[in-house]
Amino acid sequence: MEKPLLKIGVLGSGKGSNLQSIIDNVAAGKIPARIACVISDVTDAYILERARNHGIEAIYLPPGRYKTRLDKEAETKYVKCLKDRGAELVVLAGFMRMLKEDFINAFPNRIINIHPSLLPAFRGLEAWKQALDYGVKHTGCTVHFVELGMDTGPIIMQAVVPVEDDDTPETLHQRIQVEEHKIYPEVIRLIAEKRTELVGRKVRIR
């Protein structure tokens, strides 16, 4: 019998290179999952075009009146949209708004995010620039379960990237993204294969 595919809903606000890496891995048969829809809070975000290019339903949903989060009404619409499409895992791929209680409670331990630093260092915006300005010798990226705090939540996987003396924010971000495109699909594969287990705040991988 065919293994059931995990239904994924992806949320993003930008160029969607992480979405692309997930699409490519699903297409290559490496992840037992199906991308049910891609939702964006930005009408013309390239992530929506990438979805359409691959025959994935691409939906713009207005975020409401706030800048850094969804308002309550919008949050209800996002959750409904995901539930209507049977999403079992919500993947944040460059989604530039914080999720609040109602959203998080609708998908308990079923929302993941990728952040461009080795958390808990350098939470927030332009984490690669924060790392460069601080002068660390290594930074990287983190995939974690989403909880109420900004860029907090149990860590599932991290990848380390060296910081070079002549790095600019752009070159460092590019190097981090190369690793993002490896670990995000890998984490989704592990979740789809039911190989992650949350023990307290620690994620065990079997």
Name which of residues 147 to 186 contact ligand GRF (CB under 6 A): 177, 180
The answer to whether the beta carbons of residues 144 and 121 sit under 8 Å apart is no
Residue among 54, 115, 138, 181 flagged as catalytic: 115
With contacts defined by CB under 6 A, name the span among 8-16, 78-86, 131-139, 164-172 that binds ligand GRF: 8-16
d(CA 147, CA 104) in angstroms, rounded, equals 7
Q: Is 10 in the site for ligand GRF (CB under 6 A)?
A: no
- Cα 139 to Cα 145: distance, rounded to the nearest angstrom: 20
Number of neighbours of residue 83 by Cβ within 10 angstroms: 13
Residues numbered 67 to 96 that lie near ligand GRF (CB under 6 A) are: 93-94
How far apart, in Å, are the Cα atoms of 62 and each of 15, 28, 98, 123?
Answer: 18, 33, 14, 25
For the CB of residue 205, give the shortest distance to ligand GRF in the complex, in Å: 20
- If binding is defined by CB under 6 A, does position 15 make contact with ligand GRF? yes
Nearer to ligand GRF, 18 or 196 (CB): 18
115 binds ligand GRF (CB under 6 A): yes
Work out whether the CA dihedral 180, 36, 191, 102 comes out positive or negative. Answer: positive
Given candidates 9, 63, 116, 185, which one binds ligand GRF under the rule CB under 6 A?
116
Q: Is the dihedral of CA 187, 111, 28, 160 positive or negative?
A: negative
Residue 129 interacting with ligand GRF (CB under 6 A): no
93-127 burial, b if ≥16 CB within 10 A, otherwise e?
A: bbbbbbbeeebbebbebbbbbbbbbbbeebeeeeb
Please select the residue that binds ligand GRF; options are 11, 18, 106, 159, rule is CB under 6 A.
Answer: 18
Asked whether position 16 contacts ligand GRF by CB under 6 A, the answer is: yes
Active-site residue numbers? 115
- Where do contacts with ligand GRF occur on this chain (CB under 6 A)? 12, 14-18, 93-94, 114-116, 141, 177, 180
